[in-house]
Chain A
Amino acid sequence: MAVSARTRKSARLQRLEAAINYPIDWLEERSGLVGGLRYFLFRKVPGDSNWFHTLGSATLTAFLVQATTGVILAMYYKPEPKTAYASIQHITNDVTLGWLVRGMHKWGASVFIILLFFHMARVFLFGAYKYPRELNWIVGVLLLVMGMAEGFTGYLLPWDQTSYWATVVGINLNGTVPFLGPYIAQFLRGGAEIGPDTLARFYSIHMLLIPGAIFALIGLHLYLVVRLGVSSPPWSKEAAGADWVEEQVTTNGRSGLTQPAARSSWRRNGGDAE
């Protein structure tokens, strides 16, 4: 009785498993995405990676907050000089939780920029921009420039005195670039004066052009992170790929767990067994 019940159950389980696996296999056969995700999730990172390594994903989270709240704001915001200010007031004071969405977008921008700088400082201090990760550093600097450009173009959108006059001067400062300056200023203004065309232009750059570029650059950034791996902290006694680890072991005459061979076999058998 008991045995046959177990067999029946296991047959049912098998059918259930097959039913769950079918769409996954279907997707995998046609796209390879499942394998890609599995690779991404179960790839090895250095054993000594720590909280400092979370600054990059924290920056990504701040960006995703900006993207999400930005999409919601775009549903209520009206990029016309006559209506922009009123729509910002409407979002902040009338729309359900509108204050939270606008507040998160406004303050998320600052958090995003701060995290960009912290992440950059971490990479600098870890020497993580060195061979073979030079290209990823350059992509990161580009992302920083894009983030600052988002700040500049987004600042105008509330169309209040603060944003208007800061942008007047900001565009004028762009105009001091030798030779190209007047053309840059003209392009940003969309004419000789700041007006409806400027606002529409800043809105389009702020919510389409630069975010698109940022998404693409983040994709490239993450691809390179996964391909090249992250650097161990330089002070780590077991830093991956560091020639100073053996040096230390031999000069200090340490033995046992700190010796690479012994430690790695311990790790394989114990802590991180898959």
Chain B
Amino acid sequence: MSAIDERRSQFKKYKEDVKDRGKPFYPYAMFHDTVMSLVVVGVIVGLASVWFYTSGENPDTCGGKDSCLLGPRYSEPADPGTTNFVPRPDWYFYFLFYLLRIFKWPDSVILGTVGIPTILLIIAFALPFLDIRSERRLSRRPVAVVAAILVVISMGELTYKGAVAKEALASEVVAAVPQWAQREGFANDPKAVAGANVFAEGGCTSCHTYLGTGGGNLGAPDLSAEGSKGKGVQGLESYVADPSKFGNTVMPKFGAFASIPAKDAQGKDLGISQLRVLAIFLDASKGPK
């Protein structure tokens, strides 16, 4: 008997077995389904109630507590002008989010954004055609069991790491600026120092790293030695203003910085924009001495 005939006769036997000694869907299976559905609705109502009663009416507040059990009701209203914000997806995208810490722009980031998700999806769709044996007992499907365990562990690990990923707080980053100036040797250039402050306060370290500080999210590269790549102040300025012009479609545009005047540590106007000092800072970053 060929494989397909065997499977057909097996399914015929299934139909006969169900007919002979199965139980009617109503009321037996339906009873279980109803109980389970009530549990699901109960859990959803429970989560909604806990979320609401442990959060506050104002954005990002938790009714007097430090952190909400299930998150705030909403954060501040969307503001395209601010950048000091860590882009964070909903939890079921954390595994993709964290995958992008492993791959770096520009060489391999596409593996994290497109490559691995596409491969996973193709495997998921093709599964019934990759595993064509009719065997269903787990003890006789070692490959399937090992694959399932590996998938659960790796997805769980990436989701967990995405959830606990440390974010660079602007206050901590700003405190590191004098040390950056020292180690990179631009302490005597007030424009570069002002640019370092814009870099620290502007939220660049949400994704980028600089001398060990920062998030390293979304494949963003380390910028400690960005100035040694020969892009020049002008080049860096236009890159940051609109990275998509240079083929970088991941990084948001920061052209808004061009209209904000830069100030030095004493609050004196430097006469140039924040975008310009940012570019001067990046150009002065030739790597730690």
User: Quick one: CB contact mask for B3-16 with A, threshold 8 Å, 1 for yes?
Assistant: 01001001101111
User: B78 and A148: CB pair below 8 A?
Assistant: no
Residue among A42, A231, A242 having the largest count of chain B Cβ atoms under 10 Å: A242
Cα-based distance from A238 to B44 in the complex (angstroms): 36
Total count of chain B residues near the partner, CB < 8 A: 87
Cross-chain contact B23 with A47 (CB below 8 angstroms): yes
For residue A88, give the distance in angstroms from its CB to the closest CB of chain B. Answer: 6
- Given A138-B128, A240-B17, A268-B20, answer yes or no on A49-B136 (Cβ-Cβ < 8 Å): no
Nearest chain B CB to A9 CB, angstrom units: 30
**Interface members, chain B 94-136 (any A CB < 8 Å):** 100, 109-110, 113-114, 121, 124-125, 127-129, 131-136
In contact, B80 and A58 (Cβ under 8 angstroms):
no
Chain B residues contacting A268 (CB-CB under 8 Å) are 20-21
* B22, closest chain A residue (CB): A44
Contact with B along A152-185 (1 / 0, CB 8 A): 1001001111111110111011111110011001
In Å, the complex CA distance between A15 and B39 comes to: 42
B249 touches A182 (CB 8 A): yes
Q: Are B92 and A110 in contact (CB under 8 A)?
A: yes
Q: Please name the residue on chain A nearest to B57 by beta carbon.
A: A93
Is B252 among interface residues, defined by CB-CB distance under 8 A?
A: yes
Kindly report which residue of chain B lies nearest to residue A86, judged by CB atoms: B77
Q: Give the shortest distance, in Å, between A264 (CB) and chain B (any CB).
A: 4
> Are A42 and B25 touching (Cβ within 8 A)?
yes
Contact check, B36 vs A54: say whether CB atoms are below 8 A apart: yes
> Which of B81-89, B170-178, B186-194, B263-271 contacts its partner?
B81-89
Binds A, one of B68-76, B160-168, B225-233, B274-282: B68-76
User: CB < 8 Å: which of B14, B131, B135 contacts A240?
Assistant: B14
Are the CB atoms of B252 and A172 closer together than 8 Å? yes
Query: Closest CB of chain B to A148's CB: distance in Å?
Result: 7
The answer, yes or no, to whether A62 is at the interface (CB within 8 Å) is: yes
CA distance A127 to B77 in the complex (A): 47
A58 contact set on B, CB distance < 8 A: 33, 36-37, 39-40
Partner of A61, one of B40, B57, B93, B127: B40
Q: How far is the CA of A128 from the CA of B59 in the complex (A)?
A: 46
Q: Which residues in B have their C-beta under 8 angstroms from that of A148?
A: 92-93
A160 B76 Cβ-Cβ under 8 A: yes
> Contact partner of B78 among A49, A130, A164, A234, CB < 8 A?
A164
**Considering only CB atoms, which chain B residue lies closest to A115 in the complex?**
B40
A106 touches B48 (CB 8 A): yes
Q: How far is the CB of B228 from chain A (nearest CB, A)?
A: 26
B79: interface (CB < 8 Å): yes
| Per-position 1/0 for A21-57, Cβ under 8 A of B | 0000000000000000000111111110111011101
Known contacts A51-B32, A61-B37, A125-B148: does B91 contact A130 (CB below 8 Å)? no
Chain-B contact segment, one of A70-78, A96-104, A213-221: A96-104
Query: Smallest distance from the beta carbon of B162 to chain A beta carbons, Å?
Result: 12
Q: Are B113 and A173 in contact (CB-based, < 8 A)?
A: yes
Given A160-B59, A242-B136, the answer on whether A152 and B249 have CB atoms closer than 8 Å is no
Q: Are B25 and A40 in contact (CB under 8 A)?
A: yes
Q: Which residues of A contact B125 (CB under 8 A)?
A: 138, 141
Chain B residues near A177: list those with CB within 8 A: 113-114
Q: How far is the CA of A11 from the CA of B241 in the complex (A)?
A: 87
21 A/B residue pairs, CB under 8 Å, sorted by A: A41-B25, A43-B24, A45-B25, A45-B28, A47-B23, A65-B44, A89-B74, A92-B52, A92-B73, A99-B52, A103-B49, A104-B44, A131-B7, A137-B128, A152-B89, A161-B79, A164-B80, A178-B114, A234-B136, A238-B21, A240-B14
Q: Nearest 5 pairs between A and B by C-beta? A: A241-B14, A103-B48, A44-B22, A127-B136, A175-B249
Residues of B with Cβ closer than 8 Å to A? 4, 7, 10-11, 13-26, 28-30, 32-33, 35-37, 39-41, 43-45, 47-49, 51-52, 57, 59, 70, 73-80, 82, 85-93, 100, 109-110, 113-114, 121, 124-125, 127-129, 131-138, 141, 144, 148, 152, 218, 244, 249-252
